[in-house]
């Protein structure tokens, strides 16, 4: 479903991704760990084709098609959906109208209503301008509702469990777990709380813009919780020395 080949990306002349290789199969969910500033969000934005993220070298293959030079809107129409870590407030468009636009013919009114109920999104949120006056948990549930209404082939979730209380995390986690049964995904997380509900098949750790190790999600997360990213930094140093 997604393949990154030796991907190098810069922003304003500053290299943020350094030779990223990643492959996510059809129907697979992977998780990406890494300290702050390691390039995780830059990776998500690069896959989406967000303006300002310039591919210096390497390729992005999505569903068998090279999308390296395709614009963001075309990538989304092909089936890439994303939940952003810090989505903006948008005045002038209400959540209910955006959900209808996103879902198009993918969901009928009953399915949309069911999705809203499962994520505890009531009419007071649906009738507000997007994210205006929303709490942290409401923003997360709104973002999840939007991406699920798209029914994308690949979902990229940037910190879906940050700033969310336990009740909201349970709602989000259960809904994502159900929807990941028939699509691929990349979950970016610091704490790994979302893994109590969603079970990825593989974990990756990113340091300084490159993926330095891979493995079983539970083992990787356990080691991070025990000793932080010190051991990963040693892997990074070894990987850099091999390239030299």
Residue 235's pLDDT band, with cuts at 50, 70 and 90, is: low
Structure tokens at 222: 């356990």
Rounded CA gap, 150 and 57, in Å? 30
Which of 156, 116, 159 shows the shortest CA–CA distance to 140?
159
Which pLDDT belongs to residue 224? Answer: 87
CB 20 within 8 A of CB 7: yes
Which pLDDT belongs to residue 206? Answer: 93
Which pLDDT belongs to residue 165? Answer: 82
Mean pLDDT of 118-145: 89
Mean pLDDT of 112-129: 87
The whole-model pTM stands at 0.89
For residue 20, is pLDDT > 60? Answer: yes
Q: For residue range 139-153, what is the model confidence (pLDDT) as tens digits?
A: 888 999 999 999 999
Residue 242's pLDDT band, with cuts at 50, 70 and 90, is: low
Using DSSP bridges, classify how beta strands 184-188 and 29-33 pair: parallel, antiparallel or unpaired: parallel
Which pLDDT belongs to residue 25? Answer: 95
For residue 234, is pLDDT > 70? Answer: no
User: Which helix (DSSP H) or strand (DSSP E) does residue 53 occupy?
Assistant: strand 53-62
Nearest 5°: the CA angle 104, 135, 132 is: 60
Which pLDDT belongs to residue 104? Answer: 79
Sign, Cα dihedral of 235, 238, 242, 244:
positive
Which pLDDT belongs to residue 67? Answer: 97
Q: For residue range 164-202, what is the model confidence (pLDDT) as tens digits?
A: 888 888 888 998 998 898 899 999 998 888 999 999 999
Q: For residue range 43-98, what is the model confidence (pLDDT) as tens digits?
A: 999 999 999 999 999 999 999 999 999 999 999 999 999 998 888 899 999 998 89
Mean pLDDT of 18-36: 94
Q: Is 77 helix (H, G, I), strand (E, B) or coil?
A: helix
């Amino acid at each position: 479903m997604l393949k990154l080949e030796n991907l190098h990306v810069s922003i304003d002349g500053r290299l943020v991704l350094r030779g990223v290789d990643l492959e996510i199969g059809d129907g697979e969910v992977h998780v990406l760990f890494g300290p702050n500033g390691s390039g995780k969000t830059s990776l998500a934005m690069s896959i989406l084709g967000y303006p300002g993220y310039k591919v210096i070298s390497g390729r992005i293959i999505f569903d068998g098609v090279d999308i390296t030079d395709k614009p963001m809107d075309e990538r989304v129409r092909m089936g890439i959906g994303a939940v952003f870590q810090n989505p903006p407030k948008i005045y002038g468009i209400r959540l209910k109208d955006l959900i209808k636009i996103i879902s198009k013919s993918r969901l009928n009114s009953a399915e949309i209503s069911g999705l809203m109920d499962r994520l505890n999104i009531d009419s007071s949120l649906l009738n507000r301008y997007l994210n205006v006056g929303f709490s942290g948990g409401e923003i997360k549930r709104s973002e999840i509702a939007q991406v699920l209404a798209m029914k994308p082939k690949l979902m990229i979730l940037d910190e879906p469990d940050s700033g969310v209380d336990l009740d909201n995390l349970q709602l989000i986690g259960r809904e994502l777990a159900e929807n990941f049964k028939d699509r691929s995904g990349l979950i970016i997380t610091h704490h790994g709380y979302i893994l109590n509900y969603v079970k990825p098949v593989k974990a990756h750790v990113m340091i300084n813009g490159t993926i330095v190790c891979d493995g079983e999600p539970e083992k990787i997360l356990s080691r991070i919780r025990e000793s932080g990213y010190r051991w990963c930094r040693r892997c990074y140093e070894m990987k850099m020395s091999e390239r030299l």
